[in-house]
Amino acid sequence: MSALHELTAEAAVRALHAGEAGAAEMVDAALARAEDDRWGSFLALAAEAARERAREIDAMPQRPPLGGVPIAIKDALSTRDLVTTAGSRILEGFRPLYTATCVARLEEAGAVVIGKTNMDEFAMGSSTENSAYMPTRNPWGDDRVPGGSSGGSATAVAAFQAPWALGSDTGGSIRQPAALCGIVGVKPTYGAVSRYGLIAFASSLDQVGPLARTVRDAALLLSHIVGRDPLDSTSLEWPAPIEVPQATDLRGVRVGIVSELMSDGVEPGVRAAVERAMGLVEELGGEVRPVSLPATEHGVATYYLIAPAECSANLARFDGVRYGPRLDDSDDIVEHYERTRGLGFGPEVKRRIMLGTFSLSSGYYDAYYGRAQRVRTLIRREFERAFEEVDIVASPTSPTVAFRLGERVADPLAMYLSDVCTIPVSLAGIPAVSIPCGLSEGLPVGLQLAGPAFSENRLLAAAHALEGAIGFDPRPPGVL
């Protein structure tokens, strides 16, 4: 058997149930990697609690389904008595009184939380450089970003600190870091996973999902978190169980490559890797044809009106009265709010709050926010029409490979364009999977596969078959 930290989650579960290893050993192996955190993956570790929980699982007469396999959790998800900051100073030291539903479901199934991962503040960013605490570095290159906002979770998985992790995706925050770190990321259908306990960025877009080193691991994790939650009115009854895929071919699968997302903005090496993957689709018996989604060209502009508008409302609750540090030397309540929010929020969060408040203001609502919602409807309808002709649409996940730390910090627009391929899928509320499809300049390239609502099983099956044909090695040089 491989070293415990090198096992996939699926292999770890098998080893635990076969008695080849114990949960305490698994957790110790993961914590040993996480405690030597040269990449800045974690904001908080739950070492003592994780070891105690692992011992409890080992003592159970019947081991739970996930057997005690360790997992890392994005710091946007509430965890009872474990610090949860959403990457922001305004929540520094905050310990929630409850655990997010998706995390609680995993713990009930036998997963052991080892820590909370770094992220862009309140999930606003594409590089994890907007964290109020520290940047995270990509295991494929210490001078490269891991993507964002779930960069800490992606790095923890890519650096073999945890076999899998939870992230959240608003405009690409699971898929884009998965692509840049050479792992698998899944954004489920909107409503598939309860958002109860997820610190909100944009409520009509946020969705929790898995990051893992294999498609089968991602499917296994997803199978334990989907489904209706009475605590979240937007969560959905799930029509069929999520299956761990076994497909080895793509016979009968029609894949549409999105012309607008293979444009001049995509780096040549990224485009070449995606085109090679489309060649493999045909070798596996699938059909590849071009599809056009013209409204996706307006995706970034649409997203950066809708998401900031929702965040300006969601973040109004963070005022130093109910959560986080309180400044007690203010003369009145208005000064208290101004000082607390001025010191507690970072530049990108302030930028988006101001943009959102402006777009919702009297006289501008119809011109900006209302129009953006109408374009969102057009994007969704174009996807619906495309799915009348194809089963899956494909594109690069990110138009570039991992860029250098600091390269885009002073240019917000360039940073926003990192999500140009992922945003349209989020606006449509449909599921998507990102898998690594090769290297460009020695760095991973991600392939995004998207399908109609509730098509997770079909997407995961196609992604698994293609993953096998691509044969990507997820081990960054020098990490193991």
- Asked whether the predicted pLDDT for residue 448 surpasses 70, the reply is yes
pLDDT tens digits for range 380-418: 999 999 999 999 999 999 999 999 999 999 999 899 999
**Where residue 333 falls among pLDDT bands split at 50, 70, 90?**
confident
Residue range 45-56: mean pLDDT, rounded: 98
Say what percent of the chain tops pLDDT 70: 100
Residue 188 domain-assigned? yes
Round to whole Å and give the CA distance between 142 and 132: 19
Tell me if 217 is assigned to some domain.
yes
218/297 Cα distance (integer angstroms): 30
Least confident of 106-110, 414-418, 460-464: 414-418
**φ and ψ at residue 355, rounded to 5 degrees:** -60, -45
- Encode burial over 155-175: b for 16+ CB neighbours within 10 A, e otherwise: bbbbbbbbbbbbbbbbbbbbb
- Residue-wise burial string across 420-440, b where 16 or more C-beta atoms lie within 10 A, e elsewhere: bbbbbbbbbbbbbbbbbbbbb
- pLDDT of the residue at 36: 87
pLDDT of 429 reads 98
Which residue range(s) make up the domain with 244?
4-252+455-470
Q: Is residue 354 part of a domain?
A: no
Tell whether 391 is covered by a domain.
no
The backbone torsions φ and ψ at residue 289, rounded to the nearest 5 degrees and listed phi first, read: -145, 155
> Residue 307 falls within a domain, yes or no?
no
Of the pLDDT bands very low, low, confident and very high (cuts 50, 70, 90), residue 326 is confident
CATH number of residue 213's parent domain: 3.90.1300.10
What's the pLDDT tens digit per position in 136-168? 999 999 999 999 999 999 999 999 999 999 999
Residue 238, pLDDT > 80, answer yes
Neighbours of 376 (CB within 10 A): 24
Asked if residue 313 belongs to a domain, the reply is no
Position 338 scores a pLDDT of 86
Which has more pLDDT, 307 or 321?
307
Q: CA 83 to CA 428: how far, in whole Å?
A: 33
Closest CA relative to residue 86, chosen from 45, 132, 50: 132
Give the active site residues. Answer: 74, 149, 173
Given this model, what pLDDT does residue 1 score? Answer: 63
Chain CA centroid to CA 139, Å = 17
Is pLDDT of 327 > 80? Answer: no
pLDDT category at 337 given cuts 50, 70, 90 is confident
Query: What mean pLDDT do residues 76-82 have?
Result: 97
Average pLDDT, the chain: 96
> How confident is the model over 295-320, as a mean pLDDT?
95
Residue 109 domain-assigned (yes or no): yes
In a domain, 351, yes or no: no
**The total number of structural domains that make up the chain:** 1
Q: Give the model's pLDDT for residue 3.
A: 95
Percent of the chain with pLDDT over 90: 91
- What integer pLDDT is reported at residue 364 of this predicted model? 86
